[in-house]
Chain A
Amino acid sequence: MIDEEPKTTEEDRDEAANVKYLKPGDFALFQSEGGGLRLTLADSKSVLRVKAKRCFPFTFANRYISLRDGNDEEIGIIPDLGALSKEYRLWIEDDLDIRYFTPRVKAIKSIRYRFGGIEWHVVTDCGPKRLITKGVHDTMMEIEPGRYVINDLDGNRYEVFTEELDEASAGRLGRLI
Chain B
Amino acid sequence: MHTLPEEVENSIKAIAEGSEIELALESDLSVDGLMGQQWLAMTRDRLFVVSRNHAGPTVEYDLPIKDLVGVKAEALVGNGCLIGNIKGSFIPLIRYSNALSKEFGHAARRLESLIKGEDPPKPTEEDQTRRCPKCSFPLETGSVVCPNCVNKARAMRRLLAYVEPYKKLTVIAGCLMLATQMMALAPPKLTQILVDDVFRKAEPFKGDVPGILRGQFLHMLGIVVLALIATRIVSMVTGIFQSRLTAYLGSKMIHDIRMQLYSALERLTVGFFDKRQTGAVISRVSQDTGALQEFLAFDIQYMMSNALVLILVLAIMFQQNWRLAALTILPAPFASLAATLIFTRLRWVFRRVWHRWSKLHSVMSDSLQGLRVVKAFAQEDREVSRFQRRSQDLYTAHMQAEQTWATLLPILWFVLSSGQFIVWYAGGIGVIDFGVTTGTLIMFLGYIGMLYGPLQIVTRMWDWIGRCLAASERVFEIMDSQKEETDPEHQIAMPDMKGHVKFNKVTFGYDKNHPVLTDIELDVEPGEMIGLVGPSGAGKSTMINLLARFYAAQEGVVEIDGVDIRKIRLDDLRRQIGMVPQESYLFSGTIMENIAFSKPNATPEEIIRAAKAANAHDFIVNFPDGYETQVGERGQSLSGGERQRIAIARAILHDPKILILDEATSSIDTATEKQIQEALARLVKNRTTFAIAHRLSTLNYARRLLVLDKGKQAELGTHEELLAKTGGTYANLVKMQTELSSTVAVGG
Contacts and interface: CB of A to CB of B under 8 A. Distances in A.
A117 interface: yes
A143 interface: no
A121 to B, nearest CB: 13
A154 B29 CA distance: 14
B260 interface: no
B232 interface: no
A86 interface: no
Contacts of A126: 29, 33-35
B78 interface: yes
A34 B92 contact: yes
Contacts of A34: 61, 84, 86, 89-93
A46 to B, nearest CB: 11
Interface string A124-135: 101111001000
Contacts of A15: none
A129 B35 contact: yes
Contacts of A128: 35
A102 B90 contact: no
A156 B98 contact: yes
A177 B99 CA distance: 25
A17 interface: no
A101 B35 contact: no
Nearest to A35: B92
Interface string B704-744: 00000000000000000001000000010011001100100
Nearest to A102: B78
Contact of B77 (A99, A124, A127, A175): A99
B696 interface: yes
A155 B99 CA distance: 7
Contacts of A116: 137, 140, 146-148, 470
Nearest to B731: A2
Interface string A1-40: 1101010010001000000000000000000111110100
A143 B674 CA distance: 50
B735 A4 contact: yes
A102 B77 contact: yes
A34 B49 CA distance: 12
B78 A127 contact: no
A79 interface: no
Nearest to A3: B738
B358 interface: yes
Contact of A2 (B78, B140, B735): B735
Interface string A141-156: 0000000000001111
A100 B34 contact: no
B196 to A, nearest CB: 51
A154 B734 contact: no
A28 B25 CA distance: 37
Interface residues on A, range: 35 or more
Contacts of A119: 137
A62 B93 CA distance: 25
Contacts of A1: 696, 723, 734, 738
Interface string A108-119: 000001111101
Contact of B78 (A6, A13, A155): A155
Interface string A29-65: 0001111101000000000110000000100000000
Nearest to B34: A126
A156 B88 contact: no
B79 A156 contact: yes
A52 B61 CA distance: 24
Contacts of A129: 35
A89 interface: no
A6 B742 contact: yes
Nearest to B356: A177
Nearest to B742: A6
Contacts of B61: 34
Contacts of B78: 100-102, 155-157
Interface residues of B, number: 52
A49 B90 contact: yes
Contact of B97 (A97, A137, A156): A156
A116 B140 CA distance: 9
Contacts of B86: 34
A25 B568 CA distance: 64
B89 A176 contact: no
A177 B92 contact: no
B97 A101 contact: yes
Contacts of A127: 34-36
A81 B204 CA distance: 102
A32 B148 CA distance: 47
A1 B723 CA distance: 10
Given A34-B93, A49-B90, A98 B76 contact: yes
A128 B28 CA distance: 12
B739 A153 contact: no
A175 B35 contact: no
A175 B359 contact: no
B352 A175 contact: yes
A127 B89 CA distance: 31
Contacts of A153: 138
A103 interface: yes
Contact of A117 (B97, B137, B358, B470): B137
Contacts of B739: 4, 9, 13
A83 interface: no
B644 interface: no
Interface of B: 29, 33-36, 61, 76-79, 81, 83-84, 86, 88-93, 95, 97-99, 101, 129, 137-138, 140, 146-148, 347-349, 351-352, 355-356, 358-359, 466-467, 470, 696, 723, 731, 734-735, 738-739, 742
29 contacts: A2-B731, A4-B738, A6-B742, A33-B91, A34-B61, A34-B90, A36-B89, A36-B92, A38-B89, A48-B89, A70-B90, A98-B79, A101-B29, A101-B79, A101-B97, A102-B77, A113-B351, A114-B147, A115-B148, A115-B466, A115-B470, A116-B470, A119-B137, A124-B35, A128-B35, A132-B137, A136-B355, A156-B98, A156-B99
Nearest first, the 6 closest Cβ-Cβ pairs linking A and B are A34-B91, A127-B35, A115-B147, A101-B79, A36-B90, A155-B98
Given A1-B696, A48-B88, A114-B147, 11 more contacts: A34-B84, A36-B89, A49-B90, A101-B79, A101-B95, A102-B77, A115-B148, A116-B137, A116-B140, A117-B137, A128-B35
